[in-house]
Structure 1
Amino acid sequence: MLRFDDPLPRQPRRVLVAGVSGSGKTTLAARIAAVTGGPHTEIDGLFHGPDWEPRPGFRDDVLAFTAEETWTTEWQYSSVRELLAERADLLVWLDPPYWRVTFPRVVRRTLGRRFRRTELWNGNREPPLHTILRDPEHIVRWSVSTRRTPAERVPAAERAHPHLTVVRLRSTREADAWLTGPLRASTA
C-alpha cells in the first residue's frame, strides 16, 4: 500500500476511490478525473432511482462505463464492488480521522442538503431529519455503522487483486499533495 508521497508505478487509467460515507470520495474522484483526463461517473447517480429505489439497469450501466479505457468512480455497492476492483488499476483509499473529520462533514453535508432541499439523484432529496432516529440506513447512521468497513475491504482487495495499486490518503493535506505530486507526475 502506497503513501501519499510514494510515486505511482504507472499512469492510472481506471480509478476507484474508497472511503466511508462523508469522507469526500466523490469530490476526490472528480479531482482525480480532472488530472487523469478521464470521465468521472458518480456511482450514486447510477444506483439510486426515484424514491431511493435501486435502478434496475445499475449493473449494466457499471459494466458499460467500466469497459471504457479510462474512468474514475467511487468504490461502492456490493453488487458491483468486485467487478470494479477487477477492472480498476488504482484504488485510492480516502481515510481521514472519522470522528474529527468525516463525521462532522457528513452531518454538515446532510443538514445543508436537507435545508436547501437539494435534489440529489433522480429526484431524490435528503429525508426529514427525524428519520435519523428510526432509519438505520439514514446516511449519518450509515456512516457511523460502516466507518470501519474500508479498513477491512481495502486490504482484502489489495490481496485479491495483485494488479491493483492502492494508495492510502489520511487527510485533505495528503490528498492535495498526492494529486499535485505523484498523480500529476504519473500523467506527465
Structure 2
Amino acid sequence: MTDERERDPLNSLTGSNRILILGRTGSGKTTLARELAAALDVPHVELDSLYFGPDFSTAPLSVLRERTSAAIAGECWVTDGNKRAVRDLVWPRADTIIWLDYGMHVSLWRLGKRARARTSALSAQAAQTGRRTGLPKQMLAAAGGVLTALKSHRGQRREYPRMLAEPANQHLAVARLRSPTATREWLTRVTNAARLPA
C-alpha cells in the first residue's frame, strides 16, 4: 500500500457505503463498527456473530459463507473482522477499509479487560444458579484471544499492505488508524459530519 493510497480517514468515507474494519484481536473492531454504523445509520454486520454460536461453538464453513453472503448483500453496511474464510466475499463488496493498526500493548490490555469482565459475569451467574458451565470455556477463549493477537501482530502488518496493493483491491479507500486516540478523534469527526444536513 503506497502512502498516496492512504487518505484522510474522514475524506475516505465520502461516498463510502460498505465499510470493513480490520485489526488484530482486541483492537476494538466490533465496538468501532457498532458506533460507526449507528453514526451513519446503516446496518452493522458482526462477522464473529455469524461464526460463533452458544458456548463458543462454531458454524461450519459453508454456513458461515452463506450467512456472510446474505449479511453483506445490502448496499450499505459496516462490518468488522479478519475472517480469512470469507475474505473473498467481503473485500470485493467493501468500498472502504478502516485498519486499526495499534501497538500490541493496546490489544493485550483490552483482551485482559474483556476476559475479566466475562469471567466476572460468569462467576456471578454461577453464584446465582450454582452451575459453573461456561467459565472454563471463557478462560480458554481469553487465552486463545491473547495467542491470536500475538501471532497476528507482525503478520497483519506485512499481509494487509501486500493485499491492499493487489490489483483486485484498488477499489478500496483505506484509512489506517494507529492509536485509539486517533480513532476516537476520527469517529467524532465522522459522527459530526453525519449530523450535517445533506
TM range (shorter): 0.7 to 0.9
**Alpha-carbon deviations, 1:37-74, whole Å to 9, x = none?**
21111111110124433213211110011111111111
* Structure 1 portions without partners, runs of 5+: none
One of 92, 104, 108 as aligned partner of 1:103: 108
Structure 1 partner of 2:75: 69
8 Å Cα contact 1:93-1:168 kept in structure 2: yes
Alpha-carbon distance, 1:180 to partner: 2.7
Structure 1 partner of 2:173: 165
Structure 1 partner of 2:51: 47
One of 183, 189, 198 as aligned partner of 1:181: 189
- When residues 5 and 26 of structure 1 are mapped into structure 2, their CA distance, relative to the original with a 3 A threshold, is closer
Matched, 1:21 2:29: no
- When residues 126 and 65 of structure 1 are mapped into structure 2, their CA distance, relative to the original with a 3 A threshold, is farther
8 Å Cα contact 1:17-1:75 kept in structure 2: yes
8 Å Cα contact 2:55-2:137 kept in structure 1: no
- When residues 163 and 3 of structure 1 are mapped into structure 2, their CA distance, relative to the original with a 3 A threshold, is closer
Structure 1 partner of 2:129: none
RMSD between aligned residues: 2.8
Q: Greater share of helix residues, 1 or 2?
A: 2
Separation in 2, partners of 1:4, 1:27: 21
One of 124, 127, 144 as aligned partner of 2:137: 127
Q: Which of 1 and 2 has higher RCO (CA within 8 Å, sep 6+)? A: 1
Matched, 1:12 2:20: no
Alpha-carbon distance, 1:165 to partner: 0.7
- SS of the residue corresponding to residue 117 of structure 1 reads helix
- When residues 54 and 11 of structure 1 are mapped into structure 2, their CA distance, relative to the original with a 3 A threshold, is same
- SS of the residue corresponding to residue 44 of structure 2 reads coil
Separation in 2, partners of 1:183, 1:151: 28
Matched, 1:34 2:42: no
After TM superposition, the runs of 4+ consecutive aligned structure 1 residues lying more than 3 A away are 3-6, 123-126, 182-188
Separation in 2, partners of 1:112, 1:83: 33
- SS of the residue corresponding to residue 153 of structure 2 reads coil
Separation in 2, partners of 1:95, 1:103: 13
Separation in 2, partners of 1:50, 1:107: 21
Matched, 1:156 2:166: no
- When residues 175 and 128 of structure 1 are mapped into structure 2, their CA distance, relative to the original with a 3 A threshold, is closer
* Structure 2 portions without partners, runs of 5+: 126-132
**Alpha-carbon deviations, 1:79-103, whole Å to 9, x = none?**
101221111001100112212x221
Separation in 2, partners of 1:157, 1:124: 37
